Amino acid sequence: MEILEANITATCPLPFSGITGGLFLKAVSTVVALHCTILDDFQWPPDSFQKVIEEESGTSYDIIVVGAGTAGSLLASRLSNIYPTWKILLIEAGDDPGIDTEIPAFLFLNQNSSNDWSYKTHPDGYSCLGFKDNSCIWSKGKGLGGSSSINAMIYLRGHPKDYSEWYNLGNPGWDYGDLITYFNDQEVLFEITDPYFKGYDNEWYNILDTAWNELNFSSYHYKGHEAVVGTKKARLLTRNGKRMNTAKKYFKDVDKLYIMKNTHVVDVIIEPENKRAYGVKIRHKSGVLKDIFAKKEVILSAGSIATPQLLMLSGIGPKSHLEEMGIDCIQDLKVGHNLQDHIILPLFLKTNKNITVSPEVIDLLLLQYMLTKTGPFATIGITDYMGFTDTKENSDCPDIQFHYTNFAKNDNFVLKPYLEGLGYKRYIIKSIEELNKKYSLLGIYPTLLHPKSKGEIFLSKSFNAPIIKSNYFQHPDDIDTFLKAINFVNKLEETSIFKELEIELLNISIRKCNKHSFKTDNYWKCYMRHMATTIYHPVGTAKMGPQHDNNTVVNHELLVHGIQNLRVVDASIMPTIPGANTMAATLVIAQKAVDIIKKQYGARDEL
């Protein structure tokens, strides 16, 4: 602190003279030092890279886990505690998450950073037309905790029918009733079990509740974590005003776990004769290459994009594609197929709540956060408020989820970085900014929960970033469902509270859509193809199911069909996408995988 104060006074000595100057200097120094305290006393586990590299050639680990994201960090840490005599190695391509990831309100600012893989979809001429290069950015967390270090922290289970569908597709043990214990356990762990949780105050909650109630929808607030028709405030994985990166919970007391950071897995080493996985080839950022061996098994937890990429690089995937890439096919499986994602459609509405927020107020709010970890920077605005509808109106199982944001009039702090982070073309951003100069904005984002369009992931010729074909709107039903969702927004416009606040849909000037009359189906179809994008929930690219189903990659115990000692534990195994944000389901997959492994190898009680 003394050095900090000396540097401040050296820069501007006169104002810090006298009693008041000394007191002010203490205050300034305290505020500056607060930035360093955001992590509190938490320490990320050390990097074991040097130790692993220096081990003798041929040294084996019992289990190698690839990917320290939401699933991998849980899996590796729990196994290291259950089996203290095992050598377990966790390999992560990224590093420790930065301080910016700790602040909940900065979730959009972490996109396209060093904590983000920043994947891009392959242009198809049918979707993402309003984005640079006609390609949507698919942010995925890179570093310890994976996407839990950059996501919206929203915790929802989905609907019970989502998991019944997994079971009915030939996966015993994966029905909702089989998984409830895992959901309950993690909700206790993350302390989100209280249905009377006070939450955050925001007048928009009441405004939106009033509108939905007028349309005869129930408000569930914080009651339960299922996604059912009605409105809801979702719980966030935050603690003391900061992001709760899931890895933080699981990396406590993991002194027995080896963790390699900044290390890419090039491929899985497989004996082609007996089709047995026995290790991985790694490349560290320093350029070091090494083969590392596993006595029991290799587990891929690299996520729905990197896991299929690794499988194909290792000779497991569609035979015709692998041969085209010059890779010997060891096992012909539909790896990279069945890609499903929640598509989100940003709609912007004007309001008469023309409140402005000056840069000085932003500074004060940031100071409030630094001092107390409270205020707007400790939340994600109204993004935790959502509504669910069934456009077919025959069930409590929703097919559309509505997210919300709001922007002050002439917002110079959030709106532009948010739109740029999504990757929109400059002229579209400018069109929205011009409207924001006139009005405060309400963002309503219908989200397609069960898309019928399915994408694919392929290897690129460079073998670096894979080719992601989202195939958005390939199935016409997805367009029809979005049209029904927009019709629902029209109904919200007609509610008393929306009329009172003059909340109305705005016409965003999109060059190719301007030829259509605003609010017509043709306008909205054009708008969808330009403005719809991902909400960062890709799943399904290593589909779980019985081996006789030619579209599956792993069985119900998550073992890759036809390959010994190779397992997949992440969102890529989901046969169908749950009807809500996918973090909770991904954690459950990892928890269940721990029990599957314990059953296979036997286990002593956890220490």
Lowest mean pLDDT among 55-64, 416-425, 490-499: 55-64
**At residue 26, does pLDDT exceed 70?**
no
Mean pLDDT of the chain: 92
Tokens matching residue 52: 């692993």
What is the C-alpha separation between 22 and 26, in angstroms, rounded?
6
> What confidence tier does 413 reach under pLDDT thresholds 50, 70, 90?
confident
Average pLDDT over residues 551-559: 98
For residues 373 and 304, the model is more confident at: 304
> DSSP H helical segments within 261-393, as ranges?
303-313, 319-324, 359-372
Q: Which residues are annotated as a binding site?
A: 265
Average pLDDT over residues 227-246: 94
What pLDDT does 107 receive? 83
Is 121 in contact with 423 (CB distance < 8 Å)? no
For residues 29 and 133, the model is more confident at: 133
> What confidence tier does 466 reach under pLDDT thresholds 50, 70, 90?
very high
Rg of the chain over Cα atoms, rounded to whole angstroms, equals: 25
**At residue 607, does pLDDT exceed 80?**
no
Is 173 in contact with 556 (CB distance < 8 Å)? yes
Residues in Cβ contact with 232 at an 8 Å cutoff, skipping those fewer than 6 apart: 156, 219, 220, 221, 222, 385, 386, 387, 388
**At residue 393, does pLDDT exceed 90?**
no
**At residue 33, does pLDDT exceed 90?**
no
**At residue 25, does pLDDT exceed 70?**
no
Domain boundaries, the chain: 2-37
Long-range contacts of residues 456-461, Cβ cutoff 8 Å, at least 24 apart = 456/336, 456/337, 456/339, 457/305, 457/308, 457/309, 457/336, 457/339, 457/541, 458/312, 458/321, 458/336, 459/309, 459/312, 459/313, 459/321, 459/325, 459/327, 461/325
**At residue 606, does pLDDT exceed 60?**
no
> What confidence tier does 605 reach under pLDDT thresholds 50, 70, 90?
very low
Average pLDDT over residues 143-155: 94
Angle at the Cα of 275 from the Cα atoms of 273 and 281, rounded to 5 degrees: 105
Angle at the Cα of 298 from the Cα atoms of 297 and 303, rounded to 5 degrees: 145
> pTM higher than 0.85, yes or no?
yes
What is the C-alpha separation between 398 and 113, in angstroms, rounded?
33
Percent of all residues in the chain with a pLDDT value above 90, rounded to a whole number: 79
Taking only the tens place, the pLDDT of each residue in 75-110 is 999 999 999 999 999 999 999 998 888 999 988 877
Residue 374, SS3 per DSSP: coil
What is the C-alpha separation between 456 and 506, in angstroms, rounded?
34
What pLDDT does 19 receive? 60
What pLDDT does 233 receive? 95
Residue 198, SS3 per DSSP: coil
**At residue 123, does pLDDT exceed 50?**
yes
Lowest mean pLDDT among 10-24, 83-97, 258-272: 10-24
**At residue 553, does pLDDT exceed 70?**
yes
Percent of all residues in the chain with a pLDDT value above 70, rounded to a whole number: 92
**At residue 188, does pLDDT exceed 80?**
yes
Q: Which residues are annotated as a binding site for FAD?
A: 265
Is 257 in contact with 90 (CB distance < 8 Å)? yes
What pLDDT does 457 receive? 98
What pLDDT does 599 receive? 96
What is the C-alpha separation between 192 and 182, in angstroms, rounded?
14
**Where do the DSSP E strands lie in 67-117?**
88-91
Give the N- to C-terminal CA distance of the chain in Å, as an integer. 41
**At residue 222, does pLDDT exceed 60?**
yes
Average pLDDT over residues 240-248: 91
**At residue 6, does pLDDT exceed 70?**
no
What pLDDT does 205 receive? 96
Q: What are phi and psi of 151, to 5 degrees?
A: -80, -175
Task: Tell me the β-bridge partners of 386.
Answer: 232, 403
Taking only the tens place, the pLDDT of each residue in 515-537 is 999 999 999 999 999 999 999 99
What pLDDT does 201 receive? 84
What pLDDT does 27 receive? 55
Number of H-type helices and E-type strands within the chain: 17, 25
Residue 89, SS3 per DSSP: strand
Average pLDDT over residues 301-314: 98
